[in-house]
Every structure is written in C-alpha cells, then in structure tokens.
Chains A and B, each alone.
Chain A
Amino acid sequence: MNQTPSSLYIHIPFCAQKCAYCDFVSFAAKPDFRMEYMKCLTKELQMIGTKYDKPILKTIFVGGGTPSLLTVEEIEMLGQVVHENFDMTGIEEFSIEANPGTLVNEALFKWRSIGVNRISMGVQSMNDVLLKKLGRIHTSEVVRSSFATLRECDFDNINLDIMFGLPDQTYEDMMDTVEKIIELGPEHVSAYSLKIEEGTPFDRLVDEEKIHLPDEDEDRKMYHGLVKRLSEAGYGQYEISNFAKEGLPCNHNLVYWKGQPYFAAGMAAHGYVDGVRIGNHMDFESYKTDIQDGKFPEATREVIDQDDAAFEYIMLGLRLNEGVDVVEYNSLYKRDIEKDFKSVIKMQVESGALEIVAGFMRLTEYGRDIANVVIAEFLD
C-alpha cells in the first residue's frame, strides 16, 4: 500500500502504576521527563507533517500508557502540533485511551477542544476484588462515576474494555460484569481473553502457581457467553474481540485490520508507511537521540512485499466477522484464492471453521476459537 496514510497513532507511555498483566511500554513518569517526552513527540509530529506535506487525516488514536493523565498544558501542546502539521478538516475519529479515576474535567474539555470525539476506557472488570488482584487503580464505583463524567463532557462515542479468563474469575462473575457494562450503555465494547505475557508479575505468579486461571473450556464458555449477551444487547461482534452498536466500530482499528497504512509517533509506536512496517524505539534515550538529530526514531523496519501483504490481508481480514472480500483480494494481489488454497479451504470448510458466503471468506464461531490455526494454513 503506497498511498499516504490517513491514520495516525500516538503513544503516551505514562501510567500512574503498572498493572500486573501489562507488557506495554509504560511507566510512572516525573513531570520533567514528561515535558522532555512531549517536546520530542512534538518534534516527531512536525517531521511527519513536513515529510508528507501536511497529510489529510481521517482517524487518530492516542494510546498508552494512560493518555488521560496528560495535563491541560500537555494536551494543548499535542493539539497544536497535530493541527499545525496535519490537515484535520476531514477528521472522522479522534480517540484517546483513558483510565477510570484519572479523569479531570478541565483535561476532558481540553481534549474535546482539540477535536477528540471518542474515548476508550479500560474497565477490565466490575468486580472490585478482581480489580485489586489485577493491580488496577480504580473500583467499579469509580468506573461508574468516570463514565458519567464522560457523558457530562459530551462524549457520545465511548468504548469500554473488559477482560475475561481472569484469575479466580467465574463465568457468573464475568457475565455480571457484562451486565453492568450493558447497563452503563457505551457505544462500543472490547472484550479480551487474558494473555499471560512473559516477564509480567502475572507470569511469575502463574509459574509459582499462586494464581489459578480458568481452563480452556471455561475460557471459551465465557467468550461465547459474552458474545451472545452483547449481541442481544445490540453490540454486534465485528471483530474477534470487538463489539459495537450499529454503525459505531472503531474506524482507526479497522485501518489495521484492512491492511491500510498509518503513521506512528512516540516511543514504541508502530507505523505502516510506504510499504514498510516501522517500530519506534522502546527506550527513551534512543528515541530522544534520533529525534534530536532530526531522524525518525525507527528501531525496526520490515519491508512488506506483495506476498507479505497478501498474507497479511488474510491474517487480519479473517479477524473481522465479515471476513475477507475474495474479489478484492484476488484483484489487489493478482491471485485466485480459491484455487491457490483449494485444499486448505476445503479442509477448513469441512472442519467447520471456515465458510465462503456471498463472496466473503470468513471464520465461523468455531473458527474464531482456533483462528491462528486456520490463518497459518494460508501461509505460503
């Protein structure tokens, strides 16, 4: 994809404290450091804007860490550089991630003023005991009040993140959280199965057998339970872990799943520009040094050729419930998917994991459970 990206991801790596399961680049940061970081980020955004001649943006996503921790001053800085260096006239979706309990009205209004029209808030669970175990900084009550605050500040496009398969979590626990979420009435819900990442406190606890995780069958029961309940409540599943009210998916994320390009700014941010997947430096020193030298802070680069892109199209496309548009795939990559992968498709259709309906190749409910296996079959 060599078109100029119309999506931008910005990374704010600050957090009040680290959650037990988190393996993102995030940490508690002192004000001096934050200012330094914001200055570098500003410069980087300028560099992008300059290189691509004030590109038109449709979606922006500010992730972290906890972007909602930014001060009014910092938000102002960010807003200014974005508006100065990018064409914001056609902006459709400008999201930020927030943590319950970190919301400050002045900051929220500031976000609104620079164009933010969507908030993604991490809830994980409405069970206070569980929240503590996870190392979250809030209770369920705080979630409610934060949600109310967001509505008060006129945010009419809110996503709430929940997790299932948590230690000592029961099916009933989880469904209870789902009910409470539905009660709050966000526009979008993301529900993730807990993954124990190497090097996290949870990883150690699992090794030491101090925490008990639900087994596979329980995990799947929870997943299918919440998919069904959310669907009944009007949140149609459109991606493996994402559910939205009619017409309100996260457009920025859709860019990822459709294999489209996007800019990246900030430490540890990832971009996909001019056919190259870029990973920015994970440590501040390297990030800062490159930017000060006027260089893009790239730590890793991966050139995506036609074959890579073709596979990614399937890998990411199958994550969406609608699946992969066969005609579009064939025309984009000059291939014939039903011929090239004849036996794979036959086998997976027979096994009940895959189906081709109305020109779309997609995973079934069962297929979503073993998506990795099915997707791997499409590797050359």
Chain B
Amino acid sequence: MSNRQDKIRNFSIIAHIDHGKSTLADRLIEKTGLLTLREMQDQIMDTMDLERERGITIKLNTTRLIYTAKDGEEYTLNLIDTPGHVDFTYEVSRSLAACEGAVLVVDATQGVEAQTLANVHLADQQGLEILPVLNKIDLPSARPDEIRAEIEDVIGIVADHAPEVSAKSGLNIEDVLELIVNDVPHPTGDEKEPLKALIFDTVYDPYKGIVASVRIFDGTVKKGDTMMMMSTGVTFEVVEVGVYSPSPVPLPMIQAGDVGYITGSIKDVKHCQVGDTITLKNNPTAEALPGYKKATPMVYCGLYPAEGESYDAIRDALEKLQLNDAALSFEPETSVALGFGFRCGFLGLLHLEIMQERLEREFDLDIIATAPGVIYRVTKTDGEVIFVQNPSNLPEPTEITKMEEPIVDAKIYIPSEYVGNVMELCQQRRGSMNHMDYLDEKRVMLDYQLPLNEVIYDFFDALKTKTRGYGSLDYEFNGYVESDLVKMDILLNKENIDAFSMIVHKSKAASRGRQICDRLKDVIPRHQFVIPIQAAIGNKVIARETIKALRKDVLAKCYGGDISRKKKLLNKQKEGKKRMRQMGNVEVPQQAFLTVLKFDEEK
C-alpha cells in the first residue's frame, strides 16, 4: 500500500438535466488551472455540436485535475463526466463504477427531480459516497434550506454541510474541491497485485484504433506490456498509456488508483468491450471485476438508404457509431417497400433521434427511418415463444396464442396543479397508477405503470406540454404484460406498404390509423389517378382517406418571356420528384415516413 493513492480521488458529477453539472465541471477544470478562461469554450466537456445544441452530454469524457488543497497537499482528482438523460442510465452506471464518490449537484431553485433520484440510485448501486452540492445559489429564487431538507427527506442523505455554490459565477467552487478531497474515499488498490483494470468507456481514434478508458484497481500497466481482455482472452501489445488532461497525455505507466487510457492498435470493438477487465497476459488476475449492467435496447426502428443513397455507406456509418456506442445494435433486414436496410436497437427515443441526426449530419447520409417500435413477446400456437421487433415479422393472428408488451415503471415529477392533466394523460396512454407521493406542498411524484409503446413516441413532449415544461420523467423496464395487440397495415392504392406497418393496442388502432391516413393524404402528391389510403387490421379496413386524381396542371400562357421561367419551374418539379420513393405505382416523398413517425397529441 503506497500513500500515492491517498492523494487520489476518483469521482463523477451526477445531476438532473440543467442543474449545472457541466458548468460545475468546467469550473473545476478552470479552478485547477488546466485551461485559461479564454481557452475554455462554454461547456468544454460537451465536445460534440449535437450535444451542445441539445444542452446534454452524450459522450463520456474524463479529465485529471491537480489540486492543491487547503491542507497544502497536492491531490489528483479524476473527474469523469456523465450523461444525464433517462435513456442513458447505462452510460452513467459505467462511469460510476470507476469512481469512489459522486458529487450530486442539485439546483437550489428546483430541488430534487426525476434524474436526481435516478442517478443517486445508480451511484448507490455502485457503493459510492454521495456528496450533495447546492447550485445556482446566486438566483433570487434559490431556497437552500428547503432543498437541503428535501435532499435529506427524499434521498436520505445528510445535506447540512452541502456547499452552496454558483457554477455559473464561480462562487464557492473551492468548497466543492475541498469536499471532494475530504469526503471522497481514496482508492485502495495494490499496484503490486496483478493488473485489474476496468474498461468504462471506449473511443475510436482513426490512428490509435480503439482507445479504452480505464480505471486501474490493482497493478500497473505500461507501454510494451501484453494486455489481455478477460472476457475473450484476446491479447494486445500495449502501445500507449496515459491520462486525460483533458486531452490525452502519454505516460510511462499508470497504476492502481489511476484513471486513464490504454491503446493497443485494437481495431475491432468486440475486442474491447465496456465492462470488461484488462489484465496482463504474463500475470493475469484471478477474477474479473464485476461487469456492468448490459445495455438492453428497448426501442427499435428500421433504417434504410433513401433513393440514391448507398447501403454500404450506412453500414459503415453504423459500424463506426457502434465503436463509440456499445448500446447501439443493428442487423441487416429487408423491406418490400424500402429494399435493403437495417433493424437498429436503441436505449430509447432520444438515443434513436440522436443516432439518426448523427447519421445525417456527421456522415452526410440520406436515410429513411420506419416508425419506432418496441419488442413484443409472442407465444405461438405451437408453444414457441418469440420476440418480435419488426411488425412485418409478426406471425399470422391464427398462429398466435398470446401477445405481451413491455411495460415500464414510470416516475413522473410534476407541480401539484397539473396532477389532473397528467393523470388524464397517463390514462389515455393505458397507464395504471401505482401510487402518488407529495414531495412537498407544491410537488407531486406519480408512479405509473405504462406500456413502453405508449411512452416512446411523444409521451415526454405531451408531459411537458401538459405541465408547462415543469414535468420530468424517469422510467425503467418492468417486464411484460399480456395485451390486446394487433398489427396495423397501411395500404397505398390497395398495396400494403410494409415499411408503414405497426403493432398497436387494439383500442388505439382506429384513431392512430385515421391519423396516419390523414397525414399521408397531406404529404403524398396527387397522381394521375385516385389513390385510396387505407389503414387495415388483417382484411378489415379501419380508416380511409382518398387522394383525388390530378385534375389540372397546365400553364395558360407561354409566350417568349415565359419560356425560361417555365423551364425553371418544371425542373424544380422534377427535382422534387427525385426525393420520392416509388411504392407500387404511387410516388411517396421521404417525409411521408417521418409523418408516420412523429405523432402530435390527438386534437
């Protein structure tokens, strides 16, 4: 046991969205002198544009801070940034396992919210020391004493010594650093023991291959060692080790208690799995570290190349994305309507949307996504139990004994005046209430059981609307429940377009069918023949709209001065057609798919 580890603190910052986690991280980095104010872009740790746009962190980033405490000693503080959205609890748990403590940031004007609790729960699971910090103390609406009480009551941790800070202005930031030094336990590994390093994140670097972010629990690793992945037994020569400061800084070695990275020219992400333990071939550790919760995709959709887009390009992009995102899953599939594509699995709708945007923006791909859906559990008449993600793979109704859908336990936090509205919303979404708690006179927590397929579309948006933005939500998978589910097809000009099929609850089929038909009618252009749009369950048509045949499209006057203009218009018309997809003899614009995807609240 060296006393080197006495001076190390490994911690994360956890919080509900917008409580100031990233700003605090920036202040800590600044305070420990790593970067000047000018060098810091706002929220430097949120490096991706997309993240910045949405105000959330997606990727993990770690950094080492060197802090000289009030006791005069120099400490190494390893800060691991974590994402804060309900879809990414998996990613949060990964970084937490690398820490001994967690700084819990609570907005002093908002108090304990959905993800505050969710994150605390995860930190608890990892056995971390949780240190509350009250943020935004400079705001006039800050109520520190109330929030302190809330933390003690609701979370059950002592908060009377919680520092009051303003991450935005930099007020009392040293108190947080002192808190970390004093209250986060130091690591207690043994650098002489065989190497035991936990991979808590991976990043793909075009030159270095896959870079593993690691927390060393025991042992030492340096360049030239032969490392071994315990789950697969695959070995690699260590090319480089180092720490993040926040950019990678190579070091001769890293040891027990450290947080850093290892590279080994690893090309295949399967050889560097998050949750795996790295040890040395020549002196392997006996037991691997307990793994993380395996990320289970909950929401699926089909991703297909748009007209003229390359299937291979999409596959390559998905492979690249997967290198950095173990939670993304995909496999090839085909659709009669859309051709060759992929069935992709995501942690949730946000994850799905972000992946789609990344494919479109970072990889410049033109893709069509089918409606997102969940996995259903189907028991067939022959006794076989299968899981169905793609509605087109659902067996015939005559072959099905029962169908089950995934349900979630949702915790909804709202101001009390919206209780009626929100209960109505949950009812509409086939929810059943487990219980309701008053957090204080003004806020309520509703615990509802809801079908996942009612939550993934726009439940969150509806919740926000009904609570004027004050509502928040956290949900967790809670098993399967038998349900009256049907497959709804959409037919265009009497032809079933498989890409539009969805599995819906029987009670929702007619209204959803009507909505889709209505939307498609607006989006599909008129043709030289009448187009019936139908929603059907089996042979039964449950909703219908009709697009009239084109009756008139002619230019009355075309004289000398009109010719150029006319040509331009016709060219534009033709260009517009290029973004269409031929389905049978109906030309469908790509946005038709989005139309089916996005649902507004029913009017």
Q: Which residues of A are in contact with B by a Cβ distance under 8 Å?
A: 9, 192-193, 195, 216-217, 219-220, 240-241, 253, 256-257, 262, 264, 268-272, 277, 279, 300, 302, 308, 311-312, 315-316, 319, 351, 353, 368-373, 375-376, 379
A262, closest chain B residue (CB): B560
Asked whether A372 lies within 8 Å of B564 as measured between CB atoms, the reply is no
Do A192 and B563 form a contact, CB below 8 Å, given A373-B550, A376-B573, A379-B571? no
Please indicate the chain B residues that have their CB under 8 angstroms from the CB of A195 in the complex: 556-557
User: Is B570's CB within 8 Å of the partner chain A?
Assistant: yes
18 A-B pairs with C-beta separation under 8 A:
A192-B557, A193-B554, A240-B554, A240-B555, A257-B558, A268-B561, A270-B560, A277-B564, A300-B564, A308-B567, A312-B563, A315-B570, A368-B554, A369-B552, A369-B554, A371-B553, A376-B570, A379-B571
Asked whether A256 lies within 8 Å of B552 as measured between CB atoms, the reply is no
User: Is B207's CB within 8 Å of the partner chain A?
Assistant: no
User: Is B528's CB within 8 Å of the partner chain A?
Assistant: yes
CA distance A351 to B563 in the complex (A): 27
Q: Which of B556, B561, B570, B573 contacts A241 (CB 8 A)?
A: B556
Q: Which of A219, A270, A311 contacts B552 (CB 8 A)?
A: A219
Asked whether A353 lies within 8 Å of B557 as measured between CB atoms, the reply is no
Please indicate the chain B residues that have their CB under 8 angstroms from the CB of A300 in the complex: 564
Please indicate the chain A residues that have their CB under 8 angstroms from the CB of B551 in the complex: 216-217, 220, 369-370
Asked whether B570 lies within 8 Å of A220 as measured between CB atoms, the reply is no
Please indicate the chain A residues that have their CB under 8 angstroms from the CB of B573 in the complex: 372, 376
Q: Which residues of B are in contact with A by a Cβ distance under 8 Å?
A: 528-529, 550-561, 563-564, 566-567, 570-571, 573-574, 577
CA distance A264 to B559 in the complex (A): 13
Please indicate the chain B residues that have their CB under 8 angstroms from the CB of A373 in the complex: 528, 550, 553
- Minimum C-beta distance from A312 to chain B (A): 7
- Minimum C-beta distance from A197 to chain B (A): 11
Asked whether B558 lies within 8 Å of A316 as measured between CB atoms, the reply is yes
CA distance A244 to B204 in the complex (A): 75
- Minimum C-beta distance from B109 to chain A (A): 46
Asked whether B560 lies within 8 Å of A272 as measured between CB atoms, the reply is yes
CA distance A300 to B551 in the complex (A): 34
| Closest 9 A/B residue pairs (Cβ) | A270-B561, A371-B554, A372-B553, A270-B560, A192-B556, A216-B551, A193-B556, A379-B574, A370-B553
- Minimum C-beta distance from A8 to chain B (A): 11
Please indicate the chain B residues that have their CB under 8 angstroms from the CB of A311 in the complex: 567
CA distance A315 to B556 in the complex (A): 13
CA distance A372 to B558 in the complex (A): 12
Please indicate the chain B residues that have their CB under 8 angstroms from the CB of A217 in the complex: 551
CA distance A77 to B313 in the complex (A): 68
Do A312 and B554 form a contact, CB below 8 Å, given A9-B560, A272-B560, A353-B528? no
Please indicate the chain A residues that have their CB under 8 angstroms from the CB of B558 in the complex: 240, 256-257, 316, 319
Asked whether A316 lies within 8 Å of B563 as measured between CB atoms, the reply is yes
B570, closest chain A residue (CB): A376
The CB with the most chain B CB atoms within 10 A, among A262, A351, A373, is that of A373
B528, closest chain A residue (CB): A351
Asked whether B556 lies within 8 Å of A370 as measured between CB atoms, the reply is no
Please indicate the chain B residues that have their CB under 8 angstroms from the CB of A370 in the complex: 528, 550-554
CA distance A370 to B551 in the complex (A): 7
Please indicate the chain A residues that have their CB under 8 angstroms from the CB of B564 in the complex: 270, 277, 279, 300, 302
Please indicate the chain A residues that have their CB under 8 angstroms from the CB of B559 in the complex: 253, 256
A-B contact sample (16 more), CB < 8 A, given A240-B558, A253-B559, A279-B561: A256-B559, A264-B560, A270-B561, A279-B564, A315-B570, A316-B563, A351-B528, A353-B528, A369-B551, A369-B552, A370-B528, A370-B553, A371-B554, A371-B555, A372-B570, A379-B571
CA distance A150 to B211 in the complex (A): 91
CA distance A193 to B551 in the complex (A): 14
CA distance A268 to B560 in the complex (A): 11
Please indicate the chain B residues that have their CB under 8 angstroms from the CB of A256 in the complex: 558-560, 563
Do A379 and B563 form a contact, CB below 8 Å, given A217-B551, A368-B554? no
Please indicate the chain A residues that have their CB under 8 angstroms from the CB of B561 in the complex: 268-270, 279
A280, closest chain B residue (CB): B561
A368, closest chain B residue (CB): B554
Please indicate the chain A residues that have their CB under 8 angstroms from the CB of B571 in the complex: 379
B576, closest chain A residue (CB): A376
A217, closest chain B residue (CB): B551
- Minimum C-beta distance from A273 to chain B (A): 11
- Minimum C-beta distance from B574 to chain A (A): 5
CA distance A192 to B562 in the complex (A): 14
Please indicate the chain B residues that have their CB under 8 angstroms from the CB of A372 in the complex: 553-555, 570, 573
CA distance A154 to B553 in the complex (A): 40
- Minimum C-beta distance from B550 to chain A (A): 6
CA distance A9 to B573 in the complex (A): 30
B551, closest chain A residue (CB): A216
B573, closest chain A residue (CB): A376
Asked whether A379 lies within 8 Å of B557 as measured between CB atoms, the reply is no
- Minimum C-beta distance from A320 to chain B (A): 11
- Minimum C-beta distance from A330 to chain B (A): 21
Asked whether B552 lies within 8 Å of A271 as measured between CB atoms, the reply is no
- Minimum C-beta distance from A276 to chain B (A): 11
- Minimum C-beta distance from B294 to chain A (A): 52
Please indicate the chain B residues that have their CB under 8 angstroms from the CB of A219 in the complex: 552
- Minimum C-beta distance from B401 to chain A (A): 48
Asked whether B528 lies within 8 Å of A241 as measured between CB atoms, the reply is no
Please indicate the chain B residues that have their CB under 8 angstroms from the CB of A268 in the complex: 561
- Minimum C-beta distance from A96 to chain B (A): 15
- Minimum C-beta distance from A264 to chain B (A): 7
CA distance A369 to B528 in the complex (A): 11
A163, closest chain B residue (CB): B556
CA distance A315 to B553 in the complex (A): 14
CA distance A219 to B564 in the complex (A): 26
CA distance A302 to B566 in the complex (A): 13
CA distance A351 to B571 in the complex (A): 22
Do A379 and B560 form a contact, CB below 8 Å, given A216-B551, A240-B554, A373-B550? no
- Minimum C-beta distance from A338 to chain B (A): 21
Please indicate the chain A residues that have their CB under 8 angstroms from the CB of B574 in the complex: 376, 379
Please indicate the chain A residues that have their CB under 8 angstroms from the CB of B554 in the complex: 193, 240, 368-372
Asked whether A277 lies within 8 Å of B557 as measured between CB atoms, the reply is no
Please indicate the chain A residues that have their CB under 8 angstroms from the CB of B567 in the complex: 308, 311-312, 315
- Minimum C-beta distance from B281 to chain A (A): 64
Do A375 and B570 form a contact, CB below 8 Å, given A240-B554, A351-B528? yes
CA distance A192 to B558 in the complex (A): 11
Please indicate the chain A residues that have their CB under 8 angstroms from the CB of B560 in the complex: 9, 256, 262, 264, 269-272
Please indicate the chain B residues that have their CB under 8 angstroms from the CB of A369 in the complex: 551-554
A11, closest chain B residue (CB): B561
Asked whether B563 lies within 8 Å of A240 as measured between CB atoms, the reply is no
CA distance A315 to B568 in the complex (A): 12
Asked whether B556 lies within 8 Å of A240 as measured between CB atoms, the reply is yes
CA distance A348 to B566 in the complex (A): 21
Please indicate the chain A residues that have their CB under 8 angstroms from the CB of B553 in the complex: 369-373
- Minimum C-beta distance from B555 to chain A (A): 6
B529, closest chain A residue (CB): A351
Please indicate the chain B residues that have their CB under 8 angstroms from the CB of A371 in the complex: 553-555
A215, closest chain B residue (CB): B551
CA distance A277 to B566 in the complex (A): 13
CA distance A270 to B574 in the complex (A): 25
CA distance A308 to B571 in the complex (A): 11
CA distance A353 to B528 in the complex (A): 9
Please indicate the chain B residues that have their CB under 8 angstroms from the CB of A272 in the complex: 560, 563
- Minimum C-beta distance from A249 to chain B (A): 14
Do A277 and B563 form a contact, CB below 8 Å, given A373-B528, A379-B574? yes
- Minimum C-beta distance from B511 to chain A (A): 30
Please indicate the chain B residues that have their CB under 8 angstroms from the CB of A240 in the complex: 554-556, 558
- Minimum C-beta distance from A76 to chain B (A): 26
Please indicate the chain A residues that have their CB under 8 angstroms from the CB of B563 in the complex: 256, 270, 272, 277, 312, 315-316
A7, closest chain B residue (CB): B560
